[in-house]
Amino acid sequence: MNNELPSIFHPDPAPLKLTFLILDGASIMCVASAIDPLRVANRVTGKRLFDWSIVSPDGRPSQTSADLPIAVTGAFDRNNDTDVLVIIGGFGARFEATSALLAQLRRAVRSARAICGVEAGTWLLAHAGLLESRSATTHWEDLEDFAARFPGCDVRPDRYVIDGAVMTAGGASPVFDLMLHLIRSRHGMAVALDVASVFIYDQTRAATEAQPLVSLGRLDGYDPRIARTIRLMESHIDRPLTMAALARRANVTTRTLEKIFMAAIGETPGAYFLRLRLNAARRLVLDTTEPMADIAARTGFSSATAFSRAFARTFGRSPMQMRKDQPGKSTITGHNRQLEQHRHR
């Protein structure tokens, strides 16, 4: 990246050119949240404020996680002129870090003014060595694994992070906020408000707000005791607090905590906490190759046996069986093998 060029976040009426590299498995909401605010900015101003092209690694339509293809203009070409390169990926993006794609990426960013990783697109930036000694974020499900894999990166739980010419966003809503920030910085608050109004979007967050494990929505303002308790639960997935400890920290009795949970959520806090931990475990079972004993420890179970029993009661299959039955598991395993080979070259 050419550090002598002005920041893309300075006021500038000139059109900004963006290239969106969409990887298979990307969320269609992330794609829309990254591109649609720019389209609307052009429409509400009647000016060409932003230009963009959509590409894939091989020139074929990118298949989103909803099995809806995204039409592209062609294959990613490191020689294409662009101001900003935006990489959008979902689960599996970490396995698309082929040596050829990473080499293209490193060459492309030399002439770009900025680069952005959205959700798991951050993994490609890190594999390419572009996040070393920088601050960055990724989707909250991957934060712990990402930090362990890339110790040279200052991994933050923020919604989005801007570190010089490198931007990263945790998911669909954070990248929408990032694009509104870009529009506001270049073209003023009025244009940004017009764009937000088109989408009836009024929940803009600061970049540094942490990504929540549970998105509380209106419940956050409805009963702060529930919001506080759920935040405590999500921060103690690996070391579950007792119901008495949760109630004490929420400044209520255990009985009151049970009553307000039943009224608002329809289940006891104990049942909700267990479900929260098992959902976290399910993601690790399906999205990683971690040993079951490690997953049990990371989700607060005393043993792999206790974890397996609770998992099977909830999901109808043992964690090992669910991992074995996952569609495309052999492909993911192959990607893992290739990635490990690449790491040790």
pLDDT of residue 328: 54
Does 345 map to a domain? no
Identify whether residues 91 and 225 lie together within a single domain. Answer: no
Q: What torsion, rounded to 10 degrees, do the Cα atoms 74, 76, 79, 81 define? A: 70
Q: Higher confidence at residue 197 or residue 148?
A: 148
In-domain check, residue 67: yes
287: containing domain? 219-325
Q: Give the model's pLDDT for residue 274.
A: 93
User: Could you report the per-residue pLDDT of 39-49, keeping only the tens digit for each?
Assistant: 999 998 889 99
CB contact at 8 A, 46 and 112: no
In whole angstroms, what is the distance from residue 53 CA to residue 144 CA? 33
More confident residue, 173 or 141: 173
* pLDDT tens-digit readout, 254-303: 999 999 998 888 889 999 899 889 988 988 898 888 999 999 999 999 99
Average pLDDT for 160-186? 94
Do 229 and 123 belong to one domain? no
Q: Is residue 48 part of a domain?
A: yes
pLDDT at 96: 72
Contact 86, 119 (CB under 8 A): no
Q: Tell me the mean pLDDT in the region 146-155.
A: 94
Tokens of 183: 């529009």
Q: Is residue 335 part of a domain?
A: no
Instruction: State which amino acid sits at residue 207.
Output: A
Q: What pLDDT does residue 202 have?
A: 67
Q: Show Cβ contacts of residue 205 under 8 Å, excluding neighbours closer than 6 positions.
A: 159, 173, 174, 177
pLDDT at residue 218 tops 50: no
Q: Phi/psi class of residue 92: alpha, beta or left (left: φ > 0; alpha: ψ in -120 to 50)?
A: left
Q: Has residue 36 been placed in a domain? A: yes
Mark 312-343 as b/e (b = at least 16 C-beta within 10 Å): eeebeebbeebbeeeeeeeebeebeeebeeee
pLDDT at 147 over 60: yes
pLDDT at 2: 54
Classify residue 339: in a domain, yes or no: no
pLDDT computed for residue 327 by the predictor? 63
Residue of 70, 177, 201, 189 lying closest to 116 (CA atoms): 177
Going by pLDDT thresholds of 50, 70 and 90, the confidence category of residue 74 is very high
Q: Are 134 and 255 in a shared domain?
A: no
From first CA to last CA, the distance across the chain in angstroms is: 26
What CATH number did the domain enclosing 287 receive?
1.10.10.60
**170 and 78 inside one domain:** yes
Quote the number of domains for the chain: 2
Specify the pLDDT at position 212: 60
Q: Are residues 186 and 236 in the same domain?
A: no
> Residue range 66-89: average pLDDT?
93
pTM: 0.72
Regarding predicted confidence, which is higher, 41 or 333?
41
58 token code pair = 């091989």
CATH at residue 174: 3.40.50.880
Asked if pLDDT for residue 240 goes beyond 80, the answer is yes
What pLDDT, on a 0 to 100 scale, did the predictor assign at position 341? 40
